[in-house]
Structure 1
């Protein structure tokens, strides 16, 4: 199975917007958010293409089929010459889950940049916590730090891909 991360162009933002609807629907069980009354979840993604290089959206594709997406944020890039890279959003369509696609896509993302990395999950999103712990533990050979931030009720894993 050939999994690719494909940078999302501005002309494809409607496709990403549509995929975000599935993501926000799935995520709503952890955030308790509702759709806007018209059957859509509110999301603004235009800023990904408005000249701010901190935002890096990618489609996750298998043989040209978009099976998900991820967004890498260069955190604090405006103040730090060596910004931490954050997996800001990550989604695999349900049909493709449980096949190793998410893990392979995450590893491809980590290998895109030699950087400090951070991945964060909501405290109540136990499937995501388990997924990211397993991926990061395998990828780093258990060389990462995990913290729980009580103020935001989130787990955070940190590691580096610098040599």
Structure 2
């Protein structure tokens, strides 16, 4: 199994936008988001390519096929030269779940940047909470701190990859 992350160029924005429809559909039980009158979820991702260098979208590739996507956000790059990195969005297509593709892709994303990280999950999304606790625990040797933010109803794992030699 060869899992890779490939940066999403502007020319493939529509493809990523299509994948975001599945992402919003799957999240709708947690977000209670409705489709618009055109039968689509509102998913404007234009800003990923509009000169805001905080956004880093990647396709998750498995043997040359798109298996999902990940978006890494340099959260406070506009105010801090050493920004916290965030897995902003992450989705693996259902056919590839529970095969190791998601874990491999997540670890590759975390290994891309030497940084302080924060990864958050909605409290209602228990599969995501379990996934990220396991992945981050394996990736860091359980060297992470988790907090719960009542105001936003999210669990957040914080850790650093600044001192890691390689992952």
**TM-score relative to the length of structure 1:** 0.99
Distance in 2 (CA, whole Å) between partners of 1:54 and 1:5 is: 17
Distance in 1 (CA, whole Å) between partners of 2:40 and 2:25 is: 9
SS in 1 for 2:27: helix
Q: CA deviation at 1:71?
A: 0.3
Distance in 1 (CA, whole Å) between partners of 2:131 and 2:104 is: 12
**CA RMSD between the two structures:** 0.6
Partner residue in 1 for 2:127: 127
Partner residue in 1 for 2:45: 45
Distance in 1 (CA, whole Å) between partners of 2:30 and 2:78 is: 31
Partner residue in 1 for 2:73: 73
| Aligned counterparts, 1:38-117, within 5 A | 38-117=38-117
Q: CA deviation at 1:39?
A: 1.7
Structure 2 stretches of 5 or more lacking a match? none
Structure 1 stretches of 5 or more lacking a match? none
Q: Does 1:28 align with 2:35?
A: no
The total of aligned residue pairs comes to: 163
Q: CA deviation at 1:76?
A: 0.6
Runs (4+) off by over 2 Å: none
Partner residue in 2 for 1:149: 149
Distance in 2 (CA, whole Å) between partners of 1:25 and 1:136 is: 26
Q: CA deviation at 1:38?
A: 2.1
Q: CA deviation at 1:54?
A: 0.2
